Structure 1
């Protein structure tokens, strides 16, 4: 067994220029290192400000294996704190969300903290007089995750104290969030309809690379699309499609369609799939909404927003955004072979309700644990996780459309079936996991 912790060269060797080693999916040791080196040093999606609308509202979750909470402050801003009492380490809140009132109170010894994390009070306060409590960390209050950025109401954090700044890390891929938010004539989104959660017994990288895999729908989802086509064949060709049909039929569009939709990769593992068009480009027109968009944004900007419907935009390593329908998936790694997937829908302020219904319908149709589409994917992800334990071949192929000239480039636009979008993710993985020894073959695109 490799000792990866003390051997950055061995980690770098796991990512070849056109393939990756199976240990990336199987190794518990690598997963532990990912928490320290990848997830802690990159910018992770934490939540949306609409999830904490009122003063004292909190939203608790884990990032990079650490408990944190988003907290709405009296001045209206949202701050992120580690969810642990400074006294003995108990989590301050155990519910996923709620309102704490004007202060936090630890359930263990009743130490209290202001909403900004400052210490407020404790039982038997006189017992601490003359001690060193005020000089040590326990007396300073809650620890804030200081590297927090709220971008268009999307909250991102970098757990590490030092590292790449937000704008440099995401660069031009931020345009995917702009496109999503600006579909609201008022430029504002709110989370709606709850969340769909699935725990899949596979490595998180399997799920994330599949988001950019445009070759699998024709085989993986063949039964679902064929069933939909059979049902729709009984209707007139010019009959308006129900929303579910409008969304599922394009999954069977064929290799040529997916290849021509195009893709673009950015530094640090990010990507946009469907830069030309996507399965979401053919949704029914909404004249009144389009007029509202032109009034809000102007003719050209409205056209730019509405004509761009990318398939998936990946904010590596934790978020995938769909501008239309307005939905996101959040990847929450739990173990080397367990991944939590969250699917969220958004309501666009000032837009017709049908946009929100598209998001809700799409998430239920494609990402629900009971979905005929998700069921196909989950079966294969878990099959892959087990299959990679087989001997005789230690490598996973990423050869399709490989070109040595892609190595070391910045933003690259390519065809939609090119596995460059996946190779780009793994090159970023190698750079964060083995920063001192990444070979030329593993340089980020």
Structure 2
């Protein structure tokens, strides 16, 4: 039982090289995260290609607030609270669809324009002489406080205060630019629906693992060892694509140590690619398409910027090389839903897209040979943190060896710098209202 004031206890949970396990297990802390982190930060909502036509909508969550992204008749993309102002009912059910020219609440048939403003209520005469004001904001579907997009990637914030989206994304914004630039037409499209994985762990464990290179050889040994053995016995060591993307997790320590990490304000980070598509016919045809679209010099620059996982804290992690987006949806202190979206690079052929689908199914899907290892370890961490075997979680790896850049902190590939960077942002967000906005000073450790 904790006796000290809650705000004072928050200040002692996060240290530069270790954190208290309560940040993963305490329901009260989780509730505060939903308010002070997901209620303040820019959170990834979706991609504009998910709502191509007027009336198209996509439902999702910001923290635990149900929202919907919708394209209106003018072509603008809005993000609205999925809530009828009458009785609070969700106006549309979960998923996606087309609302037509208006939204209609299924409970009492109030209708709303695609920008959320009230269109009409049945039996208007019943409201005459009351305080009902059809032009009042409180009788419309509320817009989320702020909405902005970059290269078609839509983010929203529940807070009217804080940095604009470009400032928030900071040095990591180049990942989204590169994502779109890799398409010969300069834009991408969500394709193939969404896959969901329910995880029995705190949401922060997933984000930390996205930039944890030290776990791969151990956690995924069963799959990469089998892939290497199969490649040798059946293909003479020349791995086809499906094996190539598995066995990359089995690289020696020297390989992992050579990778660069870049960390930024607000908890964002990325690191170098750990494997690339083999130089086969499909890859050659793609390079020819890129050369034709941009010229050889520019195409080379685009492909040279090659990253594995980028973390946009606290809500998503794009993988540019194989066109994936993983989105974090916290459900409770010990339960998280992860959504996986696959993108088509516009201007590429279907064979190239099928390679992207293969990567999704083999590495990220619920039936993946790789993801299952991570999900099991996340659960083990969550369960182990409830024991009396200790109270602190170590983030000591390569502590004190990171280098301060102009607007970033740089570390080598076995460092736990990204975890420390995420918790610097966490601590800033979790300050009392009126305190931090998630910006962690980029100072060398």
TM-score range, shorter chain: over 0.9
Q: For 1:343, what is the secondary structure of its paired residue? A: strand
Q: Which moved more, 1:349-358 or 1:221-230?
A: 349-358
Q: CA offsets per residue over residues 142-166 of structure 1, 9 Å max, x none?
A: 1111410121111100111222221
2: CA distance, partners of 1:41 / 1:323? 26
Q: Which residue of 1 aligns with 2:336?
A: 339
Q: Which residue of 2 aligns with 1:375?
A: 372
TM-score, normalization by structure 1:
0.93
Q: For 2:15, what is the secondary structure of its paired residue? A: coil
Q: CA offsets per residue over residues 192-239 of structure 1, 9 Å max, x none?
A: 112211110000111110111111111111111111111111245474
Q: Which residue of 2 aligns with 1:28?
A: 27
Q: Which residue of 2 aligns with 1:298?
A: 295
**Number of residues paired by the alignment?**
438
Q: For 1:296, what is the secondary structure of its paired residue? A: helix
Q: Which residue of 2 aligns with 1:265?
A: 263
Written as runs of structure 1 = structure 2, the 5 A alignment for 1:419-434 is 419-434=416-431
Written as runs of structure 1 = structure 2, the 5 A alignment for 1:127-142 is 127-134=126-133, 140-142=139-141
| Aligned partners of 1:427 and 1:444 also within 8 Å | no
Matched, 1:71 2:70: yes
Cα shift at 1:282 = 4.9
Q: Which moved more, 1:387-396 or 1:289-298?
A: 289-298
1:278 equivalent among 274, 277, 283: 274
Q: Which residue of 2 aligns with 1:248?
A: 246
Inter-CA distance 437–17: structure 2 relative to 1 (3 Å threshold):
farther
1: CA distance, partners of 2:135 / 2:120? 16
Inter-CA distance 354–307: structure 2 relative to 1 (3 Å threshold):
farther
Inter-CA distance 112–130: structure 2 relative to 1 (3 Å threshold):
same
Inter-CA distance 136–262: structure 2 relative to 1 (3 Å threshold):
same
Q: For 2:307, what is the secondary structure of its paired residue? A: coil
Q: For 2:298, what is the secondary structure of its paired residue? A: helix
Written as runs of structure 1 = structure 2, the 5 A alignment for 1:214-253 is 214-237=213-236, 239=238, 241-253=239-251
Q: Which moved more, 1:317-326 or 1:398-407?
A: 398-407
Q: CA offsets per residue over residues 296-319 of structure 1, 9 Å max, x none?
A: 223332112112221111111111
Cα shift at 1:70 = 0.5
Inter-CA distance 11–302: structure 2 relative to 1 (3 Å threshold):
same
2: CA distance, partners of 1:228 / 1:404? 34
Q: Which residue of 1 aligns with 2:173?
A: 174
Inter-CA distance 189–37: structure 2 relative to 1 (3 Å threshold):
same
Cα shift at 1:407 = 8.5
Q: For 2:59, what is the secondary structure of its paired residue? A: strand
Q: Which residue of 1 aligns with 2:306?
A: 309
Q: Which residue of 2 aligns with 1:202?
A: 201
Matched, 1:415 2:430: no
Q: CA offsets per residue over residues 378-397 of structure 1, 9 Å max, x none?
A: 11111111111111421000
Unaligned segments of structure 2, at least 5 residues? none
Inter-CA distance 188–134: structure 2 relative to 1 (3 Å threshold):
same
2: CA distance, partners of 1:144 / 1:202? 31
Cα shift at 1:399 = 0.2
1: CA distance, partners of 2:385 / 2:407? 32
| Aligned partners of 2:261 and 2:411 also within 8 Å | yes
Matched, 1:362 2:359: yes
TM-score, normalization by structure 2:
0.93
Matched, 1:103 2:99: no
| Aligned partners of 1:12 and 1:437 also within 8 Å | no
2: CA distance, partners of 1:40 / 1:47? 17
1: CA distance, partners of 2:99 / 2:347? 31
2: CA distance, partners of 1:121 / 1:283? 59
1:329 equivalent among 323, 326, 333: 326
Q: Which residue of 2 aligns with 1:388?
A: 385
Cα shift at 1:403 = 0.7
2: CA distance, partners of 1:351 / 1:331? 28
1: CA distance, partners of 2:417 / 2:42? 22
Aligned-residue CA RMSD in angstroms? 2.2
Matched, 1:350 2:308: no
Inter-CA distance 407–179: structure 2 relative to 1 (3 Å threshold):
closer
Cα shift at 1:295 = 2.8
2: CA distance, partners of 1:56 / 1:187? 25
Inter-CA distance 394–95: structure 2 relative to 1 (3 Å threshold):
closer
Inter-CA distance 15–184: structure 2 relative to 1 (3 Å threshold):
same
Cα shift at 1:366 = 1.4
2: CA distance, partners of 1:210 / 1:262? 16
